A = this chain, B = another copy of it.
């Protein structure tokens, strides 16, 4: 068991409140005053979640976007964010990026904390809260045998953007630097889906998590998975394992057409030996990004 898995297991033993959803979903779901509040907190660390030397405005944008993507996966309307920030070299540029992202997504900054860094890699966090637009709030765990499996957009753009940025190549890096959470799509999908989550750690890994949570197997059709136009065909297996595109993965009864642009990429089948199949076979190797 990795250090992260052991720590999360210890926290899961504490998280017995139903709002925590066993720490197995993208967000907490808390009833407050007749509303259902959706809460998420994601951290990012220099050298782990972004390249040292990246533009702090892009880092700030991404911190906002990854948290809003968790809200999108619940069909939530964002109500605000709280920022946890450790001071670094170019704080002004980071604040600019926060302002750009919050203005773009029309989300207020509500509060947070700024602290002196202790040296070493910078660590930052953001809490986003939103209001559920549909109840019950969808989860990862409701996929039903026979459902279609869908994805809101192509994979691989963030991977290519990361590689171009890392290598100083001239290619477009926006998909990695400035992801756009699928907020409108999430709201449209929430009333209809049987299960939904955002793809943040790689399609194969996240699909396997949805399958395990739902007690099913997700059978994917490789040819049907949409890919970024610039992706060389031989890189598609990598793109299936790369996160950071922040598309929504969801399951729908076959009779229902998705109310937002999406690609049908597979079918939910009865739980077999493997949680996810790609063209009928268990995918080999690592399925996505896992902390060690």
- Choose among A4, A6, A96, A125 the residue with the greatest number of B CB atoms under 10 Å from its CB: A125
A85 and B7 form a contact (CB under 8 A): yes
Of chain B, the residue at the smallest CB distance from A35 is B33
* Distance from A231 Cβ to chain B, minimum over Cβ atoms (Å): 27
* Distance from A73 Cβ to chain B, minimum over Cβ atoms (Å): 13
* Distance from A60 Cβ to chain B, minimum over Cβ atoms (Å): 11
How far is A112 from B79 in the complex, measured between Cα atoms in Å? 18
Chain B residues, Cβ within 8 Å of A116: 4, 45, 48, 291-292
- How many copies the complex holds: the figure is 2
A87 and B291 form a contact (CB under 8 A): yes
Can you list, as one digit per residue, whether each of A108-147 has a CB less than 8 Å from chain B (1) or not (0)?
A: 1111111111111111010101010000000000000000
Chain B residues, Cβ within 8 Å of A30: 79-80, 110, 129
Residues of A near any B CB (own CB < 8 A):
3-4, 6-8, 10-11, 13-17, 19-21, 23, 27-28, 30, 32-35, 37, 39-49, 79-80, 82-87, 91-92, 94-96, 98-99, 102, 108-123, 125, 127, 129, 131, 291-292
- Please, could you name 17 A-B residue pairs with CB atoms under 8 Å apart, sorted by A? A3-B87, A4-B116, A7-B92, A7-B114, A11-B112, A14-B102, A19-B108, A19-B110, A20-B108, A21-B111, A28-B110, A35-B35, A39-B110, A41-B111, A45-B115, A118-B123, A120-B120
